[in-house]
């Protein structure tokens, strides 16, 4: 639930643009008109416009009005834009793109972690892994512990930009998939036990400072999880087709 009028309107217009309802080149109604249409003051409309143009979704010029910009200009790594795109009806392609980025970044981050982790980082990682191990039988705990473990690894990379990037895309993936993810967790203890081993492998490589091995093992982990996920989705689809 949006807190104020301009955020509400921002969400409404932003979604309609990102989800393709309003297309690049299209002219938006003028401020005065929008103000009347939505029953808000010009100030609110103007703040909304400011938010949209800060994300480079629109471009305004005097007399001509305000038009939707080309997709190439959009600041895709804005959390709002990602969430709007992930919430779209036809978002398969977008989710795939997010996954492709993740597959490039997470292994790179782990490689850095293997290189840069200090004693404190390693202590945290060990601790988080213990928690993961203990929560292997509980769905909710597992999801939380898994996120915490990955967060500790990322933190050990000592690269704030990567952390921020991965966190943003995780949120994007999570948002549209959290039900699916939970379902995977429910798929059975076997999946979790297998995943636990893979996590341990990553951790060991990081602690021992074996960069390339850490990277390769993270790739294995991601591919395995994605494979499990697909398998499970196919199964669910078979049982209950659209």
Partner DNA sequence: AATTATTTGTCCGTATGTATG
Partner DNA sequence: CCATACATACGGACAAATAAT
Q: Look-up: residue for tokens 């003028």?
A: 30
Among 15, 66, 74, 142, binds a copy of itself (CB under 8 A): 74
Least distance (Å) between residue 3 CB and a copy of itself = 12
Residue with the two structure tokens 């038009």: 67
Look at residues 68, 67, 55 and name the one whose alpha carbon lies nearest to residue 20.
68
Does 98 sit near a copy of itself (CB under 8 A)?
yes
Which of a copy of itself, DNA, none has residue 42 at its interface (CB below 5 to 8 Å by kind)? DNA
> Binding-site residue total for a copy of itself (CB under 8 A)?
31
Residues 162-181 contacting a copy of itself, CB under 8 A = 162-165, 168
Alpha-carbon gap, residue 196 to 22, rounded angstroms? 45
Residue 163, contacted partner among a copy of itself, DNA, none, CB below 5-8 A by kind: a copy of itself
117: partner contacted, choices a copy of itself, DNA, none (Cβ within 5-8 A by kind): none
Does position 72 interact with a copy of itself (CB under 8 A)? The reply is yes
Tokens 């930009």 — which residue? Answer: 161
Nearer to DNA, 63 or 238 (CB): 63
**Residue 232 engages a copy of itself in binding (rule: CB under 8 A):** no
Structure tokens at 26: 């299209």
Using DSSP bridges, classify how beta strands 27-28 and 58-61 pair: parallel, antiparallel or unpaired: unpaired
Q: How many CA atoms lie within 13 A of 71 on its CB side?
A: 9
- Cβ proximity to DNA: between 8 and 180 the closer is 8
Say which entry of a copy of itself, DNA, none residue 181 contacts (CB below 5 to 8 A, set by partner kind). none
Q: CA angle 58-59-65, nearest 5°?
A: 110
Q: Give Cα separations from 208 to 42, 117, 126 (angstroms).
A: 60, 10, 13
Burial of 227 (0-12, 13-18, 19+ CB in 10 A): exposed
Which residues of the chain form contacts with DNA (CB under 7 A)? 3-6, 28, 30-32, 40-44, 46, 49, 53, 60-66
User: Are the CB atoms for 65 and 30 separated by under 8 Å?
Assistant: yes
List the one residue from 12, 33, 37, 54 that touches a copy of itself (CB under 8 A). 54
Binding residues for a copy of itself, per CB under 8 A? 47, 50-51, 54, 71-72, 74-79, 94, 97-98, 100-101, 103-105, 108-109, 112, 159-165, 168
């Amino acid at each position: 639930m949006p807190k104020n009028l301009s955020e509400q309107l921002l969400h409404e217009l932003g979604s309609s643009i990102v989800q393709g309802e309003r297309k690049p080149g299209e002219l938006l109604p003028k401020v005065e008109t929008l103000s009347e249409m939505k029953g808000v003051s010009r100030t609110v409309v103007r703040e909304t416009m400011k938010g949209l143009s800060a994300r480079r979704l629109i471009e305004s010029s005097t007399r001509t009005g305000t038009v939707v910009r080309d997709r190439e200009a959009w600041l895709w790594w804005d959390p709002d834009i990602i969430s709007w795109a992930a919430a779209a009806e036809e978002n398969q392609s977008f989710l795939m793109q997010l996954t492709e980025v993740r597959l490039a970044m997470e292994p790179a981050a782990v490689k850095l972690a293997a290189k840069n982790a200090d004693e404190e980082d390693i202590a945290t990682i060990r601790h988080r892994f213990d928690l993961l191990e203990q929560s292997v039988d509980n769905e909710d705990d597992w999801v939380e512990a898994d996120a915490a473990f990955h967060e500790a690894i990322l933190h050990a990379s000592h690269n704030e930009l990567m952390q921020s990037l991965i966190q943003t895309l995780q949120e994007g993936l999570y948002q549209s998939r959290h039900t699916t993810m939970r379902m995977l967790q429910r798929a059975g203890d076997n999946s979790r036990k297998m995943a636990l081993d893979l996590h341990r492998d990553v951790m060991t490589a990081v602690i021992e400072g074996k960069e390339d091995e850490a990277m390769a093992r993270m790739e294995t982990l991601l591919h395995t999880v994605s494979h499990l996920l697909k398998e499970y989705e196919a199964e669910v689809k078979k049982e209950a087709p659209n």
